[in-house]
Amino acid sequence: MLRFTVLDATLFIASVLAVLLVAAAVATAVLATRIDRRFPAEGKFITVNGTRLHYVDEGPRTAMPVLLIHGASSNIRDMLGPMRQQLGQRYRLIAIDRPGHGWSERGTNHNSPDAQARTLADALGALGVDKAIIYGHSFGAAVATALAVERPDKVAGLLVAAPATHPWPSGTTNWYNHFARLPFVGWLFTRTIALPAGLQRLPAATACVFSPNRMPDDYLARTGVELVLVPRRFMANSIDLTGLHGHTTAFAPRYAGITAPTIIIAGEHDNVVSKDIHAVSLAKAVPGAQLFLVPNIGHKPDYVLADLVAAAIDTLAGTPRDLAAIAKTMADVVAADRFGPLEACPPPYNANAVQA
């Protein structure tokens, strides 16, 4: 008759867990390879300050340059999607994967928006750009505003959409970003569980980012959002987000020094960041900033209000457009095409978490 001691049971459980972890690690490696192959680099590479950056530079070389800075959990495919159609024939569009995202290396000393901003400013110089209109979405707005603060010589105009630029009450973000940063356990998490679990959650989570607006049917297939689930990018994204509160605490008092013409676009129904804490506060801080809070709009005005974004860039480039009229028209149109039941998504901003 077989007898199992406590030690035997412990060893058995440990063996099963080890097998499961190895299987999860293998599955993650296979899935990561497939994701990278599905969404390969579509641009060129340039080395700036020792870091290899992936970028797209297209449009007329004599036109006003526009630097597109993507948000968290994102890459240049996301920013280029609506802007190519809107602006590609009239502006020089430059989109750069932020360090550690898309196909850019993380490099060293890129763990804060201001550090990333300095490298992006130097990248503009390396590409022969004197000044550009800087356009950042969400987390990208923290980078864009830092660039405007520290490198005003590179900024012809500043546009931010659904900005994440100010400290919020809890100072936290989603639990998995903090978990990923735990010593060893976080490393293991990103290489075993995060990717397969994230793939299951991604469609619903992304739809909620768009909420209350409708996510384009081909959005996930075109933008490669799942690239962020690959371990090295997941870790970079987690470092970015868990450090955002500290950055915004330090930089918010400096926004008053921004001298570039500034336009801020935000949705009244943003489920991801608080319009009052971020967009409204930024408008109060930046001298002469224009703020457009648009009803019926969530966290993706870069897509849902692409016409307004393009008009704002025209305005910053010296061709004034009636932004208030465009915003009102688009809000009325969008009101008839809502995403659906909001109960499936997080409530509008609360003091407990900022998700992007």
C-beta pairs of 215-220 under 8 Å, 24+ apart in sequence: 215/300, 215/339, 216/303, 219/81, 219/303
The structure tokens 């240049």 sit at 76
Across the beta sheet with 262-267, what order do the strands follow?
44-48, 51-58, 92-96, 65-69, 132-137, 155-161, 262-267, 290-294
Residues 6+ apart with CB under 8 A from 282: 145, 160, 163, 165, 166, 255, 264, 289, 291
Q: Residue 64 in contact with residue 133, Cβ under 8 Å? A: yes
Cα 206 from chain centroid? 12
Cα 36 from chain centroid? 19
Tokens of 197: 């679990």
Q: Is the peptide bond preceding residue 320 cis, with omega within 30 degrees of 0?
A: no
- For residue 161, the cross-strand partners are 137, 265
SS3 58: strand
Q: List the chain residues with pLDDT less than 50.
A: 1, 340-344, 348-353, 355-356
Q: Which domains does the chain have, with CATH numbers?
A: 39-344 (3.40.50.1820)
**Residue 338 DSSP one-character state:** B
pLDDT of residue 343: 43
SS3 169: coil
pLDDT of residue 2: 53
The structure tokens 């024939």 sit at 89
Q: Residue 315 in contact with residue 323, Cβ under 8 Å? A: yes
Cα 306 to Cα 300: distance, rounded to the nearest angstrom: 9
pLDDT of residue 25: 86
Cα 165 to Cα 279: distance, rounded to the nearest angstrom: 8
pLDDT tens, 35-65?
A: 999 999 999 999 999 999 999 999 999 999 9
pLDDT of residue 347: 53
41 burial class (0-12, 13-18, 19+ CB within 10 angstroms)? middle
pLDDT of residue 10: 73
Q: What is the pTM of this model?
A: 0.92
